[in-house]
Structure 1
């Protein structure tokens, strides 16, 4: 999937991080169709409501020094999670064995790669994959495909041992327990004329072919892969296989790679944040916390539509000027075919001058709902968007940038991770969430602009503190303020955020809760991946999907995922749809 999709906006982007104070720098990543040059200006975002009967859109130009034009670059999107890294040298080895345990979760007609033994860019080598539930081999150089006749069933654990020799003979053995709880063992012998290419590889990639990005990605679990070579003693007699590599998929609080137990200098890099802390084939149910029995969670769950980082090149570096007041802003980019406004926040440095009022922007709630595809855009809502000149792009239609934690992966599992390193359509001025016969149909970012607009209209000076600021700085982010105002839907918080709010109140601060369905779900975050939010939906709380038993503890911080004690607001069921 790339940005050549006709539904992709003509120009669109994202910013990292979402906030900065004077002297800090923001990086804007812009994709401009056809590499068209574009202009950029900064606007203060006062009101995002396009309703003609309301206060109207208020986007106030701000004088910030920028270039007159910027060179455009159309930047693609490559979804799919995988794990890739160095492959052991197989020179002089006549044949090897690959061991892995898999559980596919989606059976379809696309090529879903279990493992690719390849050169660095995926132009040479062998992919071992599934197609319609059958094990297949594919030449990466010629595209030739060999079918094996060996079935690998969806939603069941299968142990695979695949022996490959340089002369083209391959044996694949599958074993496990079928849906009737009967033990099975199947053996297939076949010829793969391009098998020698597997011995030349420098890179191994699990769950995709690695071509600088994942291709032909896999939906399902992969557990404990190992590569072995036949052993012999000094007289040449056969003995136990030599283990060349054994990749450890048990969960840890390291989120960027997984180790090779045989070579600490050859880990696998994780791409697009696959799901970890999931039950593996050896899960007994005796331990529900992966930290207590990591060996029972020794699998990684990959999805072909995982997307944690678009990986776009930076188009504009914006250093926040010293005189730029705290507030809600947007970078407006225009390439002549389209326009995009990318929101960002200006905060106050710890030693800066503070107002008496802080607006606590619920950015983590925005992230949980980022690109929420509600299935309601066609018809009346689309007509209203056009009539009001509202933000025209909706995740129901523009699907390339992933969806929200209120949506599902293509294999039917709930989405537990959301990232801000991608365009977030639902966080745009003028975005309408639903059709409201009596109002504007705003939620989240657009709805919260009514509060900031009111503060400006009434002459109340305020600073912005974001959820990320609160999570990272704790009560120090609030201690300067007489009063802290929430947004309209402050639903998602970490334990650290809640502790900071309680400490602020205990010290005499005033908290004005101006929302509904607030303080409801506890989420996971980690300093090593600050762009990610994780939700595990455990026993309690309203939800559109549930975490599996034994998968209630976050992979990012190891904490338990749970809803808060606050009851849902009258519209909570709609919010969960």
Structure 2
């Protein structure tokens, strides 16, 4: 990828400005604004359709290569120089190696750790080394002191093991004013994964005076450093304070506090965690650690190249800054939301799910494992290979860090290669997420539908007040990640007469929150349930952003069934199937859903389409009154014909001694559900991610599209009760 970029936001209101950050290997590039009409590429077997938008941009913009260095750390300003010093910190290494990684740095003085032990250096000169191996994923306490004569002492305390220490004589050093750093020494790698510490740190202490070994022992035992050393000349950064923020107060007087950089894990247990509490809000002093990673990223930090003010009258839709030079091009997408709400139909693009999957590294890095999942070899997008070569651009919420721990945060302030209109997704043989949702918009355009587009961000901020301006709200294909406020807003909207069309699968599933200190980032904690590529470590189940338990909404009594009548039940990516109509679907009260569909009760429709080959595939939802599906909801159709490669999700597994039924489990199905709500409100759910892709079969002349059109027309135009 010789041209790549990102915008400072995923959505912008008409009349407001959006800024773009671009890296290009070309000397000059051509910028233009395009409206994205239909996704596609040669690999998809269908062309990309876009329309140029008059934008008064320069005919050319200079190209330059921009770089990013990842890695989380903590930074404070040290205003005065020191001739003596004491440094101490608890640490738990998660990826120890032969190269020394910094634990604490004060000006030019750095305390670092490797598999061999501790080293204290001044600039590049080692003042003392302690050759005692550290233990992976075990807490230890390191301390270093330097007195005015150049005597250096290093100590390592390991719970349950003898203390180790060493003294050395070094030239007297002067520690100049500068930065106090945790997990970094301030050296720049010039781009790429940072050389920061991988592991947890807690209870850092920095003093402008050295201290005796007895003080080191007391600090290792949990003594108050301010009582031992005094406040005026001591820094005690409180890593437990405000875990949802980015500012760390200093309980001492040596600094004015610190900034937490690049989103390390917070609200995680420290060395004195007893296990009696798993919620950091109830025992904050025990959750006083940060988990630092060399591939954490909050902001790629690129310089801005172009700012465009969106015309106030530009129609709501999906647009992109297309930056091109020769045969190279990148389309940096952004959604224009309406300045004035006039349309009867609203499409909510699930951008929180896009961010959850942003830069998912599975396709290039785990190709062999996916052969078993697919049952065949499938091509991958070339951008995934490029992504594998650039770990500094952050990971998805499905990935693990270089140290094997789960990724909590995903930011939009970086190049995200899989949020592109021509991105090819192997798991669906083509379209998924952003590109697939463009198929829905293209279908609406083909009908001449008057609609507006917003994102999860607008729903999270404006809630029911926004939704209530529209007669019908349509979801994208996979609105999996959502906050409590978003669930509340959708439910209140339908209970107040609104009509919701849930046109996807595995929606409203994962507890998610926006990070208060970094509003461009989302946070999750996987917990210990659901489909996951990692699970939370003990004591790390609560989101630092809000304090609430993470994991599945289902485990908190808010299964998707309560909102939309269906909930996640199974997944698989070998092929999709069709739906068999139920006898209940022939009742005149609901049979209008199938106007123009030849299939009768027990007969199948929707068993053709691009990608996986049908309307019921990828991830499937089913109705279940025990999980909250309203008792009067009507199941109109259920999918049939799934292979044994389609499997139940973990939370659906049977927990009993009874043998599972032979063949495909009866819970493996997608249900189409229609339900009414008070005041004329209604919900229509299709129970499958593959649905909107199947709507494009035969140029849109198919039963999947007809059912969608019938419901949309009735929801939009009928003012009385739907059922």
Match status 1:371 vs 2:359: yes
Does residue 127 of structure 2 align to residue 127 of structure 1?
Answer: no
> Is the aligned partner of 1:220 residue 2:199?
yes
Whether 2:192 is the aligned partner of 1:203: answer no
How much does 1:148 deviate? Answer: 2.8
2:320 is matched with which residue?
330
CA distance in 2, matches of 1:336, 1:400: 27
Report the equivalent of 2:584.
none
* Residue 223 (structure 2) pairs with residue 241 (structure 1): no
1:158 matched residue in structure 2: 140
Distance 1:225-1:429 versus aligned 2 partners, 3 A rule: same
1:568 aligns to what SS in structure 2? strand
1:121 corresponds to? none
Q: Which one is further off, 548-557 or 484-493?
A: 548-557
Deviations 1:285-331 (A, max 9, x none): 11111011100001111001111111111111111102210001111
Where do 5+ consecutive residues of structure 2 fail to align? 213-226, 554-558, 560-566, 573-618, 620-645, 651-723
Other-structure match for 1:29: 21
The answer to whether the 8 A contact 1:393-1:425 is kept is no
Judging changes above 3 Å, is the alpha-carbon distance between structure 1 residues 133 and 545 closer, same or farther for their aligned structure 2 residues? Answer: farther
Change beyond 3 A, Cα 1:52–1:79: closer
Compute the displacement of 1:114 (Å). Answer: 0.6
| 1:254-269 alignment, distance < 5 Å | 255-263=245-253, 266-269=256-259
Cα distance in 1 for partners of 2:380, 2:94 equals: 37
User: 1:100 corresponds to which residue?
Assistant: 89
Normalised by the size of structure 1, how large is the TM-score? 0.87
Question: Structure 1 562/336 Cα, relative in aligned 2: closer, same or farther at 3 Å?
Answer: same
Q: CA shift at 1:523, angstroms?
A: 0.5
Matched, 1:446 2:445: no
Deviation at 1:550, TM superposition (A): 1.6
- In the TM superposition, residue 491 of structure 1 has moved relative to its aligned partner by 0.4
Structure 1 residue 49: deviation in Å?
2.5
How big is the shift at 1:88? 6.0
Contact 2:363 2:426 in 1 (8 A): no
- 1-side partners of 2:500 and 2:536: how far apart? 33
3-state SS of paired residue (1:209):
coil
Partner of 2:29: 38
Distance across 2 between alignment mates of 1:335 and 1:310? 23
Over 3 Å counting, the alpha-carbon distance change for 1:334 and 1:403 in structure 2 is same
Say yes or no: does 1:348 pair with 2:338.
yes
> Of 337, 348, 357, which residue of structure 2 is paired with 1:360?
348
Q: 1:412 aligns with which of 404, 420, 423?
A: 404
Question: 1:54: how far off?
Answer: 5.4
Offset of residue 47 of structure 1? 1.6
2:260 to 258, 270, 277: 270
2:523 pairs with 1:534: yes
Is 1:61 paired with 2:52?
yes
Which residue of the partner structure matches residue 189 of structure 1?
A: 167
Could you tell me which of 536, 547, 551 is aligned with 2:536? 547
Partners of 1:139 and 1:215 lie apart in 2 by 20
Deviation per CA, 1:514-572: give whole Å up to 9, x if none.
11111110112144421111110123322111111221111112222121333334235
**1-side partners of 2:322 and 2:337: how far apart?**
19
Q: Secondary structure at the match of 2:162?
A: strand
Equivalent residue for 2:154? 172
Partner of 1:510: 499
Q: CA deviation at 1:231?
A: 8.2
Q: 1:113 to 1:391 in 2, by over 3 A?
A: closer
Partners in 2 of 1:81 and 1:52 — Cα distance? Answer: 37
Paired position in structure 2 for 1:288: 278
Aligned residue for 2:569?
568
Determine if contact 1:149/1:188 at 8 Å carries over to the other structure: no
Any idea what SS the aligned residue of 1:26 has? strand
Alignment CA distance shift 1:109-1:266 (3 Å)? same
From the CA coordinates, give the structure whose radius of gyration is larger. Answer: 2
The whole-number CA distance in structure 1 between the counterparts of 2:316 and 2:241 is 40
Decide whether the 8 Å contact of 1:106 with 1:219 is kept in 2.
yes
Query: Is 1:483 the counterpart of 2:460 in the alignment?
Result: no
Contact kept in structure 2, 1:543 and 1:576, CA below 8 Å:
no
Q: Which has the higher helix share?
A: 2
**Secondary structure at the counterpart of residue 183 of structure 1:** coil
Is 2:87–2:104's contact at 8 Å kept on the other side of the alignment?
no
Distance 1:55 1:33, change over 3 A: closer
- Residue aligned with 1:366, SS: helix
Aligned counterpart, 1:122: none
Relative distance call for 1:143 and 1:39 in structure 2 (3 A) is: farther
1:459-517 CA distance string (max 9 Å, x none): 11211110001101111221111111111111000011111111111111111011111
Q: Distance in 2 between matches of 1:268 and 1:331?
A: 37
What does residue 523 of structure 1 align with?
Answer: 512
Contact 1:150 1:188 in 2 (8 A): no
- Across the two proteins, how many residue pairs are aligned to each other? 539
**Do the aligned partners of residues 391 and 240 (structure 1) sit closer, same or farther apart at CA in structure 2, a change above 3 Å counting?**
closer
Q: Could you say what the CA RMSD is over the residues aligned between the two structures, in angstroms?
A: 2.8
Match for 2:99 among 110, 113, 120?
A: 110
**Could you tell me which of 41, 62, 67 is aligned with 1:76?**
67
Q: Does residue 47 in structure 1 map to residue 38 in structure 2?
A: yes
Shift in alpha-carbon separation, 1:133–1:302, aligned structure 2, 3 A: farther
What SS is found at the alignment partner of 2:522? strand
Deviation at 1:107, TM superposition (A): 1.3
